[in-house]
Structure 1
Amino acid sequence: MTTSPAPIITPERAQRFARHIVLPEIGGAGQVALARAHVVLIGCGGIGAPALQYLAGAGVGKVTLVDRDVVDTSNLQRQTVFTPSDVGTPKAEAAAGWVRRFDPAIDVTACVENVGSDNASALVSGADLVLDGCDNFATRLAVSDACVAADISLTSAAVGRFQGQVANFAGHLPDQPCYRCFVGDAFDAADCDTCAADGVLGAMVGMVGTFAAMHAMRVLLHGHAALGDDPQFGTLHLIDGLKPGMRAMRIAKDPACRACGGNV
């Protein structure tokens, strides 16, 4: 994990995060680790919005927001950082504005651009973690490949109707799979189907987004606090919003994977 010099936790900041610091699984060392962390969030929509709220609430010190879309009225049903006054505004910029109002101490950058194999490496550069909540496989694969190449961990979260998936990946490590090991090479085309086309329940994406934020914190606190003792790399959590229920499955590393297969 690449980090900047440790910030000073002022009395005011300590009071803000007092409920974290008192938890033995996080403590003062964990809170400092969160304050030093840089997260790149791919997609500021249904998953990205609640994930952003809880990462910002947790005190993650630097956030880069990447999204090419603008806020639409139909987004307000589930994309919780936006209001009617944001309609027509680029999502990344509107979400960055929310962060600045919520906590001016967070260093936030908005990138209004599409993500592809040509720019993914530049967009994730310098991150301690990338959280991907975008809506298409081609972008997910480009982001995953860039993370593997740059030795960056990835939290991937997806939702369709009442089903959600969340997993942490570290394909740059010898014994861990990457996202491409999970889905394969079939979805690299730029015109592949989106992950959300059949409608979605707002509370369901909120459930997945907040779980993704929690899962991201496991990675950010790895080596710093007990909550990070097991980042659960390579374990896919399947969330059923109708029953409701959750189950987990282990993803195997593919030795032939063209992104991480050499990392064995």
Structure 2
Amino acid sequence: MKPLVEPASELTSDERRRYARQLLLPAIGEEGQLRLKAARVLLVGAGGLGSPALLYLAAAGVGTIGVIDDDVVDETNLHRQVVHGTADVGRPKVDSAADAVARANPLITVIKHNERLCPGNAEHLFAAYDLVVDGSDNFTTRYLVNDACVLTGRPWVWGAVLRFEGQVAVFWPGHGPVYRDLFPEPPAPGTVPSCNEAGVLGAVCAAIGAAMATETVKLITGAGRSLLGRVLIHDALAMTWCTLHLSQDPQREPVTTIAALPEIDAAQLARELQDGEIALVDVREPTEHAQHAIPGAQLIPLTKVLADPGRFDHSVRLVLHCAGGTRSAEALRAVLAAGHPDAVHLQGGIAAWDRLN
């Protein structure tokens, strides 16, 4: 495969010293290092997969790395999200991640996007980068990344983890299969647990994140054979790696637009709460709700919503919210599928509410 990025003009003496061992690699060399320097990579999510991918991409010399994440660091993140430390709890993840890159390699430019990836910003953001690395942990974002990459023509490196297992693949519209060829439709609500529900070993995130970083470097420099058209599967308990071949589905519906879920911003929610004519439901976990909640919000964790999405009164406007908008989007899909006529979710979650208040 041809290199994705044209090379920069030159390496500085500091860059030559820092990347000396990488420059020795015949598949990279000086030209490959110049391509890495010129590359612009967007990382979706600074979590379990984004953390190792970010550190290795920065260490490898990727010149500009954008990080989009609207979440804040929680203590439960720390066992696997290694760009964050105890002192970062409560900070925006993009700030903590940028600081970690600065410590690892001050020659790298980090662009912080402290916002949630959504249909309204995805295409514009993706068009500003050469490729996308998706470290998200939910199906809503993965399908959004797929569709935005298809519409912008950008390749993307995807990874996923759960418990002791992980998967990695490369998708590139026009050059090979995409995510919707692997998973044409999202799974039925409640059938696939999240890491919040089922757990994950931090070292599995490291293994998958490192593989994602490797695939990114290969795409940028043209080194080796990419995972385009293949899915790499890791079983940490058996300590095995296997590869499945993936083909394009000729019957797959073309992506022509990005479908948006109905949502409400924090300011509008504040006005509607004053009117007292809505049901506000917090789909986070009980521990999160106990620590901090929007006044008037009823706690119904995501698992319970997914188990019975038709439980809500259809005569009352329903507003779902979580920490940043990811879990509430999943809940909203299930509620709408169950026939609720007037349900939305809070754009940006409780983090957006806090910024307003």
Q: Looking at both structures, which has the greater relative contact order when contacts are Cα pairs under 8 Å and sequence separation is at least 6?
A: 1
Specify the SS of the correspondent of 2:198: coil
- Cα distance in 2 between the residues matched to 1:13 and 1:21: 10
Q: Tell me the CA shift for residue 23 of structure 1.
A: 1.0
Equivalent position of 2:214 in the other structure? 214
Residue 185 of structure 1 and its aligned partner are, at CA, apart by 2.4
- Structure 1: any 5+ residue segments left out of the alignment? 223-227
Are positions 1:184 and 2:179 aligned together?
A: no
2:63 matched residue in structure 1: 61
Q: For 1:93, which of 86, 95, 98 is the aligned residue?
A: 95
Q: Which residue is equivalent to 1:231?
A: 226
Alignment of 1:1-264 (within 5 A): 6-173=8-175, 176-186=176-186, 195-196=194-195, 197-222=197-222, 228-259=223-254
How far the C-alpha of 1:193 sits from its partner, in A, is 6.1
Residue 45 of structure 1: CA displacement?
A: 0.5
What TM-score, normalized to structure 2? 0.67
Q: Contact conserved, 1:136 with 1:194, CA < 8 A, in 2? A: no
Could you tell me how far apart the structure 2 residues matched to 1:68 and 1:193 are?
A: 24
The whole-number CA distance in structure 1 between the counterparts of 2:199 and 2:238 is 18
Deviations, residues 59-89 of structure 1 (Å, cap 9, x unaligned) = 0000000111100111111111111111101
User: How many angstroms does 1:142 deviate by?
Assistant: 0.6
Opposite residue 255 of structure 1, the aligned amino acid is: P
Q: Is the 8 A contact 1:37 1:128 kept in 2?
A: yes
The Cα shift of 1:103 comes to 2.0
Mark the runs of 5 or more structure 2 residues left unpaired by the alignment: 257-357
Q: What residue identity is the alignment partner of 2:208? A: V
CA contact (8 A) 1:170 1:178 kept: yes
C-alpha RMSD over aligned residues: 2.2
Task: Name the count of aligned residue pairs.
Answer: 253
Taking a change above 3 Å as real, the CA distance of residues 119 and 259 of structure 1, as seen in their structure-2 partners, is farther
Q: Does the 8 Å CA contact 2:234/2:240 hold for their aligned counterparts?
A: yes
Aligned residue identity for 1:125 = A
Instruction: After TM superposition, give the deviation of residue 187 of structure 1 in Å.
Output: 5.2
Residue-by-residue CA offset, 1:178-208 (whole Å, 9 max, x unaligned) = 111111123599x996642301111111111
1:232 maps to amino acid? L
Give the TM-score, by structure 1 length: 0.89
**Structure 1 match to 2:292:** none
Question: Which deviations, in whole Å up to 9, do the C-alpha atoms of 1:26-60 show, x marking residues without a partner?
Answer: 11111111111111000100110001010000000
Secondary structure, counterpart of 1:77 in structure 2: coil
Distance 1:203 1:62 in 2: 26
Instruction: Report the 3-state secondary structure (helix = DSSP H, G, I; strand = E; otherwise coil) of the residue aligned with 1:166.
Output: strand
Q: Percent identity?
A: 38
